[in-house]
Structures are given as C-alpha cells and as structure tokens.
Amino acid sequence: MPEGDTVYRTATNLNTALAGKTVVRCDIRVPAFATVDVTGEVIHDVVSHGKHLLMRIGELTIHSHLKMEGSWHLYRDGTRWRRPEWQARAIIVTDDWTAVGFQLGLLEVVPTADEHSVVGYLGPDLLGPTWDAAEAERRLTADPSRTVGLALLDQRNLAGLGNVYRNELCFLRGILPTRPIGEVPDVARLVDLAHRLIDANKDRVDRTTTGTLRGATDWVNRRDGKPCLRCGTRIERGTLGDDELTLRDIYWCPTCQT
C-alpha cells in the first residue's frame, strides 16, 4: 500500500497539471457515482490528506484512496495508457491533460463542504500545512497498552505512515514494534522523526530511510535474513495487526531494538 509521501507526490503532480483548468469530459466508473458529471466545472485544486487524495471540482470533491493496487496517471491527448482501460475508475479530461484513476481502492464523490465526513476522522497530516506534532503525540499515547507498531499505523493518530515507515521508525528509535507505546521513552522524538523522515522523501521518486540511494535504502524493511546494517545481526520478520484485515509484516533487529 502506498505511503503518504507517494500520495503527496501524486496530488502535487495532478494539481500542477489540472488546477485552474476546466473539465471537458468526465467519466466516473463506480456504480454509486456513475451519474456524476463535472463537465464544464473548474478544477480548483488537488491535495492529499495522509493517504487520501481530494480532487476539488466546482462544488464537489472526488475522494480516492489508492489502497494496494490503485494509481493516478496523467496523459497527453493521444498518448497510450500504461494500464488497461478496464482498470480505469475515474477519467477527468481537460484541454491539456487526461487524468485517469486506475483500480482505486476507494472512490466517492462528496460536496466539498462535507469533506470532513470522509477525512475528518484522520489524525494530523504529516505532510499537511496544519501538521500538529503535539496532537499526534496525544493521540499516539491515548492508549498506553497499545503496541507502538499498531499505534503508528493507525491513521486516526497521525495520517500518512504506512508499513515501510512503521518498520523503519521503530528501528531508528531502537524500539521493538511490539513494545507498548506507554513504555516508549520520549514519544515526541518519535513523532518528530516520523515527520522529518517522510518530509525528506516527499519529493523523491525513490524513497530512502538510510540516507543513501545507493545500496540498501531501508534499514530493516523486507531485509529479513540479511545482516543488520549497524550490528550484523540477522533481521527477523513477524506479523502484527489488530485483526486479519490490518495484519502486516514487521521487521526488526533483535540486537538494536528492545
């Protein structure tokens, strides 16, 4: 599932191409919203909120979430699409560009005035203009018995972190993902690191948490069985989740993390 920095870049690219343009064709291929037509309306902007993307057109907002398989593409007129047309869920066309949302895990249309109904439950947006570190810390520590790995992935606490950042943050702070958040020293430093790490990657096509794009770009994520880049101990892998739907792989160094 894409991390918040990927969705941020997607929104930025869409906004650069579409903001201020008038829609000349609209095709929403989701039954519940198939009759929605914003042809003739102006695209005000496209923004991200955590892992959610909001395309504001006229008085409506097209709200999408990429989930595991989704993506938004931009094409010039006549350019061949990189994915098959049957995967398209939304097509928004201006005089200059065609924006296509493929296999979007979630697609709905709401009045812009009611955006809070679809993203209002989310915690502070790590890449948003109103990022609030103190509020993120308060939410993370509201349940001291919850594991830090689950608390970090809960978008109601802070919006934008995915499994890659969860694993890497725990390593960088020397914390096992299974450790209760109430036992984590200085959660404020964890929150600050999360913000700095995702912010540093928001404009990069290739993400890195090690500080290099040559060689290993991750400390532990998907490196199970390989030596820790710090101490040489083999990285281990397990799973962590509230239920089967939220179950994700976790990776850690048994020496560097406690």
- pLDDT, one tens digit per residue, over 25-43 is 999 999 999 999 999 999 9
Q: Is 191 a member of any domain?
A: yes
Which pLDDT score is estimated for 255?
Answer: 98
Q: Is 125 a member of any domain?
A: no
Same domain, 60 and 101: yes
Which pLDDT score is estimated for 89?
Answer: 98
Same domain, 170 and 96: no
Q: Which of 2, 56, 168, 177 is catalytic?
A: 2
Same domain, 76 and 27: yes
Q: Would you report the helix, strand and coil content of the chain in percent, each value rounded to 5? A: 25, 25, 50
Q: Is 258 a member of any domain?
A: no
Same domain, 112 and 141: no
Cα 36 versus chain centre, distance? 26
Longest dimension (CA), the chain: 60
Same domain, 142 and 108: no
Q: Is 124 a member of any domain?
A: no
DSSP H helices in the chain: 4-18, 116-119, 133-140, 148-153, 163-172, 187-201
Report whether 63 contacts 112 (CB < 8 A).
no
Same domain, 161 and 63: no
Same domain, 148 and 107: no
Pairing of strands 106-111, 60-65: antiparallel
Domain that holds residue 239: 133-252
Residues 58, 39: Cα–Cα separation, whole Å: 10
φ, ψ for residue 193, nearest 5 deg: -65, -40
Task: Identify any residues that bridge with 193 across adjacent strands, giving them in sequence order.
Answer: none
φ, ψ for residue 67, nearest 5 deg: 50, -135
Q: What is the model's pTM?
A: 0.94
138 in catalytic set: no
Q: Mind listing the pLDDT tens digit for each residue in 152-208?
A: 999 999 999 999 999 999 999 999 999 999 999 999 999 999 999 999 999 998 999
Q: What's the token pair of residue 195?
A: 């913000």
183 in catalytic set: no
Closest listed residue to residue 96, CA positions, set 77, 79, 73: 77
CATH of the domain at 237: 1.10.8.50
Q: Which of 9, 51, 166, 223 is catalytic?
A: 51
Total number of domains in the chain: 2
Q: Is 66 a member of any domain?
A: yes
Q: Is 127 a member of any domain?
A: no
51 in catalytic set: yes
Q: Residue 151 corresponds to which amino acid?
A: A
Q: Report residues of the chain scoring pLDDT below 70.
A: none
Q: Is 128 a member of any domain?
A: no
How many residues are there in the chain?
258
CATH of the domain at 103: 3.20.190.10
Q: Is 168 a member of any domain?
A: yes
Q: Tokens 């390593």 — which residue?
A: 171
Q: Which of 29, 138, 237, 248 is catalytic?
A: 248
Q: What's the token pair of residue 234?
A: 């083999």
Q: What's the token pair of residue 163?
A: 């499994």
Residues 180, 222: Cα–Cα separation, whole Å: 23
227 in catalytic set: no
**In angstroms, how far is the first alpha carbon of the chain from the final one?**
27
